[in-house]
Amino acid sequence: MVVYQSLGFDLIVYAPYRSVEGFNEDMQEFCHARDEEQEKFKNFLQTANAEVDRIMLTDAPLLYPPGQLSLASLHRANEVHGVLDFERYLNILLSRQHSAYSTSQLFESLKSIDTLVGKLNIPTAKDMRHIDRKLKSCWDPSSQDENKKREKRSKHKSKRTASEMQGARA
């Protein structure tokens, strides 16, 4: 990140939420979903969006395009809800778009995204407080000076109390 900052680069990450909605509508058309199946697809979409939330906490948005991220979240949601034959859907999708990728290559990408999500560790509240303090010190460098002064005072007090205690013993 330091190299990017020194070169003046900005990393832009596009979230896959819109493409999840688009794929969801396409899947409804693919399945010829009727009105009574709309609730199932609504739950499917909610699960997929929850999966996107988890994916966005990993490095996957920096490594994969939004379309693949959305397909990975829909694949994970389909494992829960089982709304369609996902492999068949991908075959038809790739044949419609005359993609240079094969279904197996796409599934490999989806598996690697799943692996990244599987390795995800959500920080604890204690870790978040520590990270928040570091972030605040980055935003306000003057607070670092105050922290250093506070540390010096506390060290000085601890030395003083230690020497006072030794003097009281004598």
Q: Are residues 80 and 99 in the same domain?
A: yes
Task: Look at residue 103 in the predicted model and tell me its pLDDT.
Answer: 87
pLDDT digits (tens, 9 = 90+) for 23-38: 999 999 999 888 888 8
Average pLDDT of the chain? 85
Task: Look at residue 34 in the predicted model and tell me its pLDDT.
Answer: 86
The residue written with tokens 């909605």 in the block is 21
Residue 155 phi/psi, 5° resolution?
A: -65, -40
Higher-pLDDT residue of 64, 101: 64
Q: Which domain holds residue 61?
A: 2-118
Q: Are residues 105 and 131 in the same domain?
A: no
Task: Look at residue 158 in the predicted model and tell me its pLDDT.
Answer: 62
Residues composing the chain: 170
Encoded tokens for 89: 């859907």
**Whether the predicted pLDDT of 162 surpasses 60:** no
State the total domains in the chain: 2
